[in-house]
């Protein structure tokens, strides 16, 4: 019997029957995420159903020096969930239950494989609200969201995933089970290891359960889509509205994005006027006074030249239709093999930052089509470079590596982040020093070695030891 066969048999003894897969289709499906840079080459896929089974798999991995890669909804964009070097993928698809609901605390204790949309619907059934939302909510899982500290479209009002985690159960790289924070609101007893595992991309251990906080359901959401003449005007619109209205979302996208989305499906333009950029604003309007205030602010923006045209939702159907202009962008451009960058700076620095990046990319690669969109209200920009039809994928990615260097030099200049919400994984690993100091990275490596001394947990992600 070969060493590989021994590993497979060993894993099969730790989980339920038929919960270890080695067929080519499963290896391909579970060994990758949404990135297309690395080819998946996992050894096997294992499907635990309990924290105890995850713990057994981790202890087995330590004993036999088997590398493990966590797999949630595989919607990541930094290759953090890619198994490219013969690792065993630990997939959480069968750990998909909401285990407990606490009405007084307004929390839900969930297994790591609960899909984001599943929790959103659970909250809605309880007349509550889980506000972390993004285009992949129908397939992304909570464990992955927490491991990358996912953000999405409502950060301006509700914050990141980190802000909604009351407690965690984790299996460390050594195989220890830790229950972190016990769902407490106040807990001033030293280091909060919960926050180490949030955003750690499975490099310290695997999240198996999470207690998630829920919120009041927002009432009567309205959406405005405004056409603006230049990017700086987007920020003027943001400043104007934030003076008077608490926004639940503030997004932006370019005219190229609108052209691609409206050509791709049944989404209609918000108005006839084509403008270089668009801002999408969402806000609660519990009474007519708020709507009237919003219309007055819209008129002020028109008078000052910030806005050329606009449309406001008149029904829930129109709210959903206007949101599709923004939410359908990622799916629409996926056919163009986009090279994605997810960067952020302080909100006040966004105009200069975007203009510098746009100028650099346009100057050096005038044939590349650039699609801009993002969560502009929190300083998060998505730069998407579309591959020309006649350019081979390998050559395109090589050229984009040079683009990365220029982009991240500008990020560093503005004290920004090379990854606002998609994590580091493998694709951002070479650029970590543009955001984190040498001293910080050294401390991260020390923390990794403390929790995962044998290096079995998602090795090669974020940094190399």
Mean pLDDT of the chain: 94
Question: Among 114-123, 360-369, 405-414, whose mean pLDDT is lowest?
Answer: 360-369
CB 248 within 8 A of CB 283: yes
pLDDT digits (tens, 9 = 90+) for 282-341: 999 999 999 999 999 999 999 999 999 999 999 999 999 999 999 999 889 988 888 888
46: which strand partners? 20, 90
For the cut 70, the answer to whether the pLDDT of residue 1 exceeds it is no
CB 282 within 8 A of CB 219: no
CA-to-CA distance for 299 and 309, rounded, in angstroms? 10
Domains of the chain: 3-91 (3.30.43.10), 98-216 (3.30.465.10), 221-330 (3.30.70.2190), 337-438 (3.30.70.2740)
pLDDT digits (tens, 9 = 90+) for 191-249: 999 999 999 999 999 999 999 999 999 999 999 999 999 999 999 999 999 999 999 99
CB 451 within 8 A of CB 173: yes
What are the contacts of 93-99 at 24+ separation with CB within 8 A? 93/47, 94/19, 94/47, 94/48, 94/49, 95/48, 95/49, 95/50, 95/208, 96/141, 98/122, 99/209
DSSP single-letter state for residue 338: P
* Averaged pLDDT, 132-142: 92
* Averaged pLDDT, 423-449: 96
- Smallest CA-to-CA distance from 420 within 403, 408, 430, 409 is with 408
- Range list of β-strands (E), 4-106: 20-21, 44-46, 68-71, 88-91, 98-102
- Smallest CA-to-CA distance from 20 within 2, 40, 47 is with 47
- Copy the structure tokens of residue 439: 């001293």
Question: Among 60-69, 420-429, 451-460, whose mean pLDDT is lowest?
Answer: 420-429
Give the rounded distance of the alpha carbon of 296 from its chain centre: 34
User: How many CB atoms sit inside 10 A of residue 110's CB?
Assistant: 25
pLDDT for the residue 64:
96
User: What burial letters (b/e) apply to 339-354, b meaning 16+ CB within 10 Å?
Assistant: bbbbbbbebeebbebb
CA-to-CA distance for 19 and 49, rounded, in angstroms? 9
For the cut 80, the answer to whether the pLDDT of residue 265 exceeds it is no
CA-to-CA distance for 35 and 337, rounded, in angstroms? 10
pLDDT for the residue 131:
96
pLDDT for the residue 405:
87
Stated pTM of the model: 0.93
pLDDT for the residue 166:
98
Enumerate residues 6+ apart whose C-beta is below 8 A from 296: none
pLDDT above 70 as % of the chain: 100
pLDDT for the residue 54:
98
pLDDT for the residue 367:
84
pLDDT for the residue 3:
87
User: What burial letters (b/e) apply to 24-61, b meaning 16+ CB within 10 Å?
Assistant: eebbebbbbbbbebbebebbbbbbbbebebbbbbbbbb
* Averaged pLDDT, 418-439: 95
pLDDT for the residue 156:
94
Q: Which residue has the tokens 């994928």?
A: 393
- Copy the structure tokens of residue 398: 């090589």
pLDDT digits (tens, 9 = 90+) for 362-388: 888 788 899 999 998 999 999 999 999
- Range list of β-strands (E), 313-387: 339-344, 369-375, 380-386
| pLDDT band, very low/low/confident/very high, at 397 (cuts 50, 70, 90) | confident
pLDDT for the residue 365:
79
pLDDT digits (tens, 9 = 90+) for 100-118: 999 999 999 999 999 999 9
With vertex at residue 396, the alpha carbon angle to CA 390 and CA 399, rounded to the nearest 5 degrees, is 135
Q: To 10 degrees, the CA torsion angle through 54, 58, 60, 61?
A: 140
Half-sphere exposure of 203 (CA within 13 A, CB side): 25
For the cut 90, the answer to whether the pLDDT of residue 186 exceeds it is yes
* Averaged pLDDT, 426-446: 96
User: How many CB atoms sit inside 10 A of residue 218's CB?
Assistant: 17
Compare 82 and 354 and report the one with higher pLDDT: 82
């Amino acid at each position: 019997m070969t060493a590989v066969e021994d590993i497979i048999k060993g894993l099969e003894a730790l989980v339920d029957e038929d919960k270890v897969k080695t067929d080519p289709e499963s290896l391909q499906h579970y060994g990758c995420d949404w990135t297309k840079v690395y080819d998946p080459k996992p050894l096997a896929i294992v499907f635990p159903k309990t924290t105890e089974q995850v713990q057994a798999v981790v202890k087995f991995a330590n004993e036999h020096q088997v590398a493990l890669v966590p797999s949630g909804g595989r919607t990541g964009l930094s290759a953090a969930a890619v198994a490219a070097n013969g690792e065993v993928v630990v997939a959480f698809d069968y750990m998909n239950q909401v285990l407990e609901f606490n009405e007084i605390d307004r929390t839900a204790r969930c297994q790591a494989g609960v899909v984001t949309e599943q929790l959103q619907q659970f909250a809605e059934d309880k007349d509550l609200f889980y506000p972390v939302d993004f285009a992949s909510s129908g397939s992304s899982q909570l464990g992955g969201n927490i491991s990358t500290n996912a953000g999405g479209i409502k950060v301006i009002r509700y914050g990141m995933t980190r802000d909604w985690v009351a407690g965690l159960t984790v299996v460390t790289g050594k195989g220890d089970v830790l229950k972190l924070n016990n769902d407490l609101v106040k807990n001033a007893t030293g280091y909060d290891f919960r926050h180490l595992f949030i955003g750690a991309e499975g490099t310290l251990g695997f999240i198996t359960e999470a207690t998630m906080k829920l919120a009041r359901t927002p009432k009567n959401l309205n959406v405005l889509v405004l056409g603006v003449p230049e990017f700086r005007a987007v920020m003027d619109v943001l400043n104007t509205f934030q003076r008077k209205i608490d926004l639940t979302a503030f997004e932006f996208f370019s005219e190229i994005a609108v052209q691609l989305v409206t050509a791709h499906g049944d989404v209609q333009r918000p108005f006839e006027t084509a403008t270089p950029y668009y801002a999408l604003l969402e806000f609660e309007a519990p009474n007519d006074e708020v709507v009237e205030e919003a219309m007055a602010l819209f008129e002020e923006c028109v008078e000052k030249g910030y806005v050329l045209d606009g449309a406001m939702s008149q029904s829930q159907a129109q709210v959903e239709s206007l949101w599709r202009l923004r939410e359908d962008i990622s799916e629409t451009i996926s056919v163009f093999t986009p090279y994605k960058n997810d960067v952020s700076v302080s909100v006040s620095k966004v105009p200069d930052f975007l203009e510098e990046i746009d100028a650099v990319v346009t100057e050096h690669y005038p044939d590349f089509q650039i699609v801009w969109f993002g969560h502009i209200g929190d300083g998060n920009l998505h730069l998407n470079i579309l591959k020309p039809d006649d350019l081979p994928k390998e050559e395109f990615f090589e050229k984009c590596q040079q683009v990365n260097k220029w982009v991240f030099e500008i990020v560093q200049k503005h004290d920004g982040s090379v990854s606002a919400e998609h994590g580091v994984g493998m694709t951002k690993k070479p650029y970590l020093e543009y955001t984190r100091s040498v001293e910080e990275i050294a401390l991260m490596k020390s923390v990794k070695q403390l929790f995962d001394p044998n290096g079995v947990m998602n090795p090669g992600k974020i940094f190399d030891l």
